Amino acid sequence: MAEPLDARPRCSWPGSDALYCAYHDEEWGAPERDSRALWEKLLLDGFQAGLAWITILRKREGFRAAFENFEPEVIARYGEADVERLLADAGIVRSRAKILAAIGNAKAYLAMHDQGEDFSEFLWSFVGGQPIQNAWTDRAQVPVTTPEAEAMSKALKARGFKFVGPVIVYAFMQAVGMVNDHMTDCFRHEEVKRLG
């Protein structure tokens, strides 16, 4: 494993993996408001179900190539030949259920758009439009889900989304900055708080 990029105090979860540290330092917890970027992240979190996030992170570029840069309009038209192509692609997580969910989620995303529902505004409404600023001092304090995540999960499922259970949704909310779950002694806690 590579050493961290520097000696700044961080959350413990990236360990000493350089890719994980870069993700922690530059992306995780920063508020994301772009609908397409949020949709891509939600799909990747769905593929993570039952796996470690580092597995998905290492395959992220493979996913982007295999899913044609996560264009919802393209993915929504995928048929059985595309499913078979994806199942044969070692650059992604090869799960028929997750691939079919990604196709269905593209259709659900487009249906929301067609009905005039902005995906970003919809998601951010569950936290009142602003990041929830937590102040955890120990990783054991961080919940695996919250009432906001449960409400978002239920609303996504009602719109036809799959692989959006409350635990997946809370991990998504952490990653896209809807909640600031950096530890208070992590250098990113205050930076992310200012971004909010």
CA distance 39 to 102: 10
> What are the phi and psi torsion angles at 40 (to 5°)?
-60, -45
CA distance 158 to 3: 44
Q: How many CB atoms lie within 10 A of CB 62?
A: 15
Please, which pLDDT band fits residue 7 given cuts at 50, 70 and 90?
confident
* Distance spanning both ends of the chain, measured CA to CA: 32
Whole-number percent of the chain with pLDDT over 90: 95
Whole-number percent of the chain with pLDDT over 70: 97
Look up the pTM and report it: 0.94
For 136-192, write each residue's pLDDT tens digit: 999 999 999 999 999 999 999 999 999 999 999 999 999 999 999 999 999 999 999
Residues 46-57, mean pLDDT to the nearest whole number: 95
Residues 115-140, mean pLDDT to the nearest whole number: 97
Please, which pLDDT band fits residue 6 given cuts at 50, 70 and 90?
confident
Residues 61-69, mean pLDDT to the nearest whole number: 96
